[in-house]
Amino acid sequence: MTFNIITLFIFYKIILIAVLGFGLLFERIFNRRTSFDQLGFTGLTGIFFLILYSYISHIFLPHGYTHNMIIVFLGLVSFFFYYRYIKKKFNIFIFFINFSILFLALLIFKTHDDFPYYHFPYSYYLTQYSMQIGIGEFNHGFRTPSSIFYLNSLFYLPVIKYYSFYIPSLLIMGFSNLILISKIFTDLKKKNINYTFYLALLFFAFINIFFYRLQEHGTDRSAQILVFIFLLQLISLLDFKKDLKININCILITLGIIISLKAFYILYIIFFIPLLWIFYTRKKLNIVLEFFQNKLFYIFIILFSLNLLIYFLNTGCLIYPVFQTCFDNFDWSLGTAEAIKMNNHYQLWSKAGLTPNFRIDNPELYLTNFNWVINWFDLYFFNKVSDFLLGLIVLSIISLVLFYQKKKIILKFNKKIFFIFFIIILLLFEWFLNHPALRYGGYVLIAFLIFFPVSLIMSKYNVNFKNLNKRLVIFLLIVTAIFISRNFNRLDNEIKQYKYSPIINTFYYINESHFRIDKVMKKRISNFENCENKINNCDIELKSKVKKVSKNRYIFIPE
């Protein structure tokens, strides 16, 4: 099959506009003023509600071609209907420039290592079946579903088929870029240059320099990108002069997507405890009430509950592999013992006791009493974490030098912000103790702990706006140039190593292994039906691993 670059680009833009259309629609329905001059948050709103819809719709029907064409068509109609409400047409220009540059990252041949293992199989399963029960039995990845798979399934369309499965990750990256760019230029226009301005600059640089390889995003980096946005919104919430409703809406939308992408980010709800206490002690009860009177708060709860329901129907656990949330008395339950085993497996992997080519001799002893620390430092801290730290330090030094001014001012800011800094430190300790791999939340925690003090230092400079404009343009051009050059270098390597042809054969590599779960499911269902209809080629033992609960719904029973 020849799949040219123009086809991919057209479908990419169609999906992008459809998602933005749903964002515009739901902003109007819920009277959510983020508003139409912030297309980044409008896009995240579209993603939020599409995730919610996909969770609900998949209970009843598969996300096949016809269903998905209707969804995309409705998104396009919504965009062109509400386009007139976008206040600043300049934002549309920035919007398309941003996503056109990012398109370069979508040209992929070699995918993420987990993509053929469970990212693709799970996304493809959603397009072929309505919700089945007990699918966590098929592989480890099916036990930890992510909303990115549900977004993937909605964009399974004729012609492009499953080659759209990386587009949702790119949309999250692109909408986050727009949010940061919008904040940077809004603050510049209002001459509101404080540490949050520089934080947004550093976050933008980090996302586009460190996370330039889209195929490595998986389910982890998209969530961490949004954590940067979430932290900026939390900081803004402590500035009581801003529109509280807008800020709370953005926080709920962002955190909802983050938790749906990776369940362990439920830990980030801890940020609300000191925030609510601060508001209570400062007699800002209107902010506390705003959370509980907000319609989006209850939609957030629904999305979170659906996330738990999917985990439960896949594994018998509310959050896998947290064994305390597991139930052993259902046909499809994987069991508490299996959850404990897999929890140890994930810890062993993140603590450098397990690699594709190596496994520690005594895992139980290794995971006890910090016995793993020395090996983790030898095999993981050096050179992955150390190289990452070096990159952060270099970026920070370049930023400090580029925006340096001789004159300094007395820094004034809300000292309550240090509560957020303190919680980040607590989360870093939790990360180190339980899952010390950068992909499991480490990137964003370490980056924030470095960028926060750097942004405070930069905010002490006395701003010369004429010079700041020039330096800002230089900074953004450097970041963009690095993103483009690193992706061109990546493409050059893929062309040489895999004979990839991004212009003519644009799609990523797919083989039989990507469809293995679908084949196993079809085999079991077919065998069950053969046994029910008393057809000769019936394997009674295989039938015992499947139960039928309705016309098109089955329970897959673990061995």
Domain boundaries, the chain: 5-315+465-498, 353-396+407-455, 512-556
Predicted confidence band of residue 317 (pLDDT cuts 50, 70, 90): very high
> What average pLDDT does range 163-189 have in this prediction?
94
Three-state SS at 94? helix
Residue type, 175: F
Residue 405 confidence class, pLDDT cut points 50, 70, 90: confident
Higher pLDDT, 72 or 95: 72
- 419-429 as b/e, with b when 16 or more CB fall inside 10 Å? bbeebbeebbe
Mean pLDDT within 411-440: 87
| Res. 439: pLDDT tops 50 | yes
The amino acid at residue 323 is: F
The proportion of the chain whose per-residue pLDDT surpasses 90, expressed as a percent, equals 73
Tokens coding 233: 């919104």
Segment 108-136 shows an average pLDDT of: 96
CA 209/CA 391 separation, integer angstroms: 10
State which H helix or E strand residue 248 sits in.
Answer: helix 244-261
Distance between CA atoms of residues 209 and 221, nearest Å = 13
pLDDT band at 40 (very low <50, low <70, confident <90, very high): very high
The predicted pLDDT at position 29 comes to 84
- Highest mean pLDDT among 79-93, 287-301, 312-326 belongs to 312-326
**Cα angle: 216, vertex 219, 220; to 5 degrees:** 75
The amino acid sitting at 481 is A
Positive or negative torsion for Cα 190, 481, 452, 280 = positive
Q: Angle 22-234-386 (CA atoms, 0-180°, nearest 5)?
A: 100
Q: Residues 162-177: what's their mean pLDDT?
A: 97
> Is pLDDT at 242 greater than 70 in this prediction?
no
Mean pLDDT of the chain: 91
Q: What is the pLDDT of residues 297-308, one digit of tens each?
A: 899 999 999 999
Q: How confident is the model at residue 208 (pLDDT cuts 50, 70, 90)?
A: very high
Residue holding tokens 């003519």? 504
When pLDDT is cut at 50, 70 and 90, the band that residue 293 belongs to is confident
| pLDDT tops 50 at residue 371 | yes
Higher pLDDT, 161 or 39: 161
Supply the pTM of this predicted model: 0.95
- As a whole number, mean pLDDT of residues 390-404 equals 95
Contacts of 362 (CB under 8 A, 6+ apart): none
User: Collapsing DSSP states into helix, strand and coil, what is residue 461?
Assistant: strand
Range 402-426 average pLDDT: 80
Q: What separation in angstroms does the CA of 214 have from each of 105, 156, 223, 224?
A: 6, 19, 13, 13
d(CA 365, CA 344): 11
> What are the contacts of 83-92 at 24+ separation with CB within 8 A?
83/24, 85/24, 85/28, 85/36, 86/24, 86/36, 86/37, 86/39, 87/35, 87/36, 87/37, 88/37, 91/37, 91/38, 91/39, 91/178, 91/182, 92/39
Average pLDDT score over residue span 169-193: 93
Percent share of the chain, pLDDT over 70: 93
Q: Return the higher-pLDDT residue of 116 and 536.
A: 116
CA–CA separation, 311 vs 326, rounded Å? 10
pLDDT tier, 35 (very low <50, low <70, confident <90, very high otherwise): very low
Mean pLDDT to the nearest integer, 350-366: 88
The pLDDT, as a whole number, for residue 204 is 98
Residue 101 to residue 12: CA distance in whole angstroms: 12
Bond into 383 cis (ω within 30): yes
Half-sphere exposure of 298 (CA within 13 A, CB side): 6
Instruction: Quote the pLDDT of residue 32.
Output: 56
The residue ranking higher by pLDDT, 291 or 55, is: 55
- Rounded mean pLDDT, 530-537: 90
Q: Residue 217: is its pLDDT beyond 90?
A: yes
Cβ-Cβ contacts under 8 Å for 28 (sequence gap 6 or more): 82, 85
Does the pLDDT value for residue 36 go beyond 50? Answer: no
User: How far is residue 445's CA from residue 545's CA, in Å, rounded to a whole number?
Assistant: 43
CA proximity to 488, closest of 477, 500, 476, 505:
500
The b/e string for 263-279 (b: 16+ C-beta within 10 A; e otherwise) is bbbbbbeebeeebeebb
The pLDDT of residue 244 = 66
| Pair 174, 99: CB distance under 8 Å | yes
Q: What's the confidence (pLDDT) of residue 282?
A: 65
Per the DSSP assignment, residues forming a β-bridge with 505 are 3, 501
199 neighbors 451 (Cβ within 8 angstroms): yes
pLDDT at site 477? 96
Q: How far apart are CA 539 and CA 242, in angstroms?
A: 66
Which region among 78-82, 172-176, 403-407 has the lowest average model confidence (pLDDT)? 403-407
* Model pLDDT, residue 31: 66
Q: What is the pLDDT of residue 485?
A: 98
pLDDT category of residue 34 using cuts at 50, 70 and 90: very low
pLDDT of residue 240: 55
The mean per-residue pLDDT over the stretch 227-243 comes to 81
Categorize the per-residue pLDDT at 27 as very low, low, confident or very high, splitting at 50, 70 and 90. Answer: confident
Least confident of 36-40, 49-53, 477-481: 36-40
Mean pLDDT along residues 74-78:
97
